[in-house]
């Protein structure tokens, strides 16, 4: 079993102040919830994950929201690859609807070469968000251009030269520089049967998100229909002495940062969106993911792997909403959960 962590790099909002007599001296530091603090915490968590024995770190990419303050997962991946020596670093995901596939392939090849093959490229279609307007790629690219973008990316990762005569990309032949003799592995984030089919047709594994349970992931694997591919399954993971304590922590802390974060998803057009329900979403995460004692987390992850057939699990470890809780969670998962799963 391969086990990694998944980092959102959320900017946590300030907690309500404690009574004056219980306040720590640094509790109200002005930089406690800044973008700089969120990024520093993310780097620290990645280094801690390597120390704790995880196999890889996966980085989310977002624009214009506090839910995640990393606008370029490849850029942060380069920093983390330089700050570590063993662990692999992947993007979860680089959004093809707002990136040029050739430029992304160049970056991926460079990171693979510089890191000795420790870089992994996860890509996805993204959403109909205002990023499309800001970066000029537009709604049609999101709605109809993912397959063309993905094919151009794959060609650019494997060929010496590339040209394009498609609907969204047209250019004369150019050499690919730098080129990695062994391209980094590519995984596709899948949230629909159409994207599952697209990944299967190209022989690519899927990245299945936290919002679906093991049964839904097993169904996606069955629809994909390509046995033996190294799919990846994302899970919220929070370890505590008891199941009750872990659930109480997430129900108290996760809606506090999740609610403001979800408000950053603004559609580029006037399509309606369901109102976010951070409390309901947190409850679902507690119900379907490893949130509990070490033994509970082990059994939850083992059951998910058995039901889905997916042997690569990545754990979102920041849900408790602070630097200290994140680092403690990584350390306890590494010491009390990973050895049992691998054993």
Contacts 24+ apart (CB under 8 A), 246-251: 246/286, 246/291, 246/292, 246/293, 246/296, 247/286, 247/291, 247/292, 249/320, 249/325, 250/282, 250/285, 250/286, 250/291, 250/319, 250/320, 251/279, 251/282, 251/283, 251/286
Structure token digits, residue 305: 């792997």
Position 241 scores a pLDDT of: 98
pLDDT tens digits, one per residue of 244-253: 999 999 999 9
* CB-CB neighbours of 166 under 10 Å: 13
CATH number at residue 46: 3.20.20.30
- How many domains would you assign to the chain? 1
Position 31 scores a pLDDT of: 40
Half-sphere exposure of 89 (CA within 13 A, CB side): 30
Give the residue ranges of the chain where pLDDT is below 70. 16-32
Position 29 scores a pLDDT of: 44
Position 20 scores a pLDDT of: 56
Q: Under a CB-based contact definition with an 8 Å cutoff, are residues 80 and 57 in contact? A: yes
Pairing state of beta strands 238-239 and 161-165? unpaired
Position 30 scores a pLDDT of: 42
Q: Under a CB-based contact definition with an 8 Å cutoff, are residues 62 and 69 in contact? A: yes
Position 33 scores a pLDDT of: 80
The rounded distance, in Å, linking the Cα atoms of 76 and 296 is: 33
Contacts of 122 (CB under 8 A, 6+ apart): 58, 90, 91, 92, 93, 94, 186, 187, 188, 189, 207, 232
Q: What angle do CA 88, 92, 94 make, to 5 degrees?
A: 110
pTM of this prediction?
Answer: 0.95
Position 18 scores a pLDDT of: 58
Half-sphere exposure of 107 (CA within 13 A, CB side): 21
Position 275 scores a pLDDT of: 86
Position 19 scores a pLDDT of: 56
Per the structure, the complete domain to which residue 240 belongs is given by: 2-342
Position 32 scores a pLDDT of: 56
């Amino acid at each position: 079993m391969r086990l990694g962590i998944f980092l959102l790099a959320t900017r946590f909002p300030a907690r309500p102040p404690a009574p004056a007599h219980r306040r720590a001296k640094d509790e109200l530091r002005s930089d406690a919830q800044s973008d700089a603090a969120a990024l520093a915490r993310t780097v620290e968590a990645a280094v801690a994950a390597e120390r704790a024995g995880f196999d890889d770190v996966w980085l989310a990419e977002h624009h214009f929201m506090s839910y995640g303050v990393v606008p370029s997962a490849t850029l942060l991946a380069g920093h983390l690859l330089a700050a570590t020596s063993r662990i692999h670093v992947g993007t979860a995901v680089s959004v093809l609807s707002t990136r040029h596939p050739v430029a992304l392939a160049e970056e991926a090849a460079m990171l693979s070469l510089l890191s000795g093959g420790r870089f992994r490229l996860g890509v996805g279609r993204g959403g109909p968000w205002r990023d499309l307007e800001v970066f000029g790629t537009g709604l049609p690219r999101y709605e109809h251009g993912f397959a063309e973008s993905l094919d151009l990316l794959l060609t650019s990762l494997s060929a010496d030269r590339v040209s394009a005569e498609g609907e969204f990309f047209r250019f004369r032949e150019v050499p690919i520089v730098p080129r990695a003799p062994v391209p980094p592995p590519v995984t596709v984030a899948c949230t629909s049967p159409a994207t599952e089919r697209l990944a299967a047709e190209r022989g690519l594994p899927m990245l299945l998100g936290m919002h679906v349970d093991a049964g839904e992931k097993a169904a996606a694997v069955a629809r994909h229909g390509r046995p033996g591919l190294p799919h990846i399954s994302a899970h919220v993971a929070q370890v505590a002495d008891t199941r009750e304590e872990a659930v109480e922590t997430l129900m108290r802390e996760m809606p506090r940062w999740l609610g403001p974060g979800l408000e950053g998803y603004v559609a580029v057009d006037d399509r309606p969106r369901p109102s976010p329900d951070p409390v309901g979403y947190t409850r679902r995460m507690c119900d379907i993911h490893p949130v509990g004692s070490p033994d509970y987390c082990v059994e939850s992850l083992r059951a998910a792997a058995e039901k889905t057939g997916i042997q690569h699990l990545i754990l979102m470890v920041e849900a408790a909403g602070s630097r200290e809780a994140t680092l403690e969670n990584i350390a306890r998962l590494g010491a009390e959960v990973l050895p049992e799963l691998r054993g």
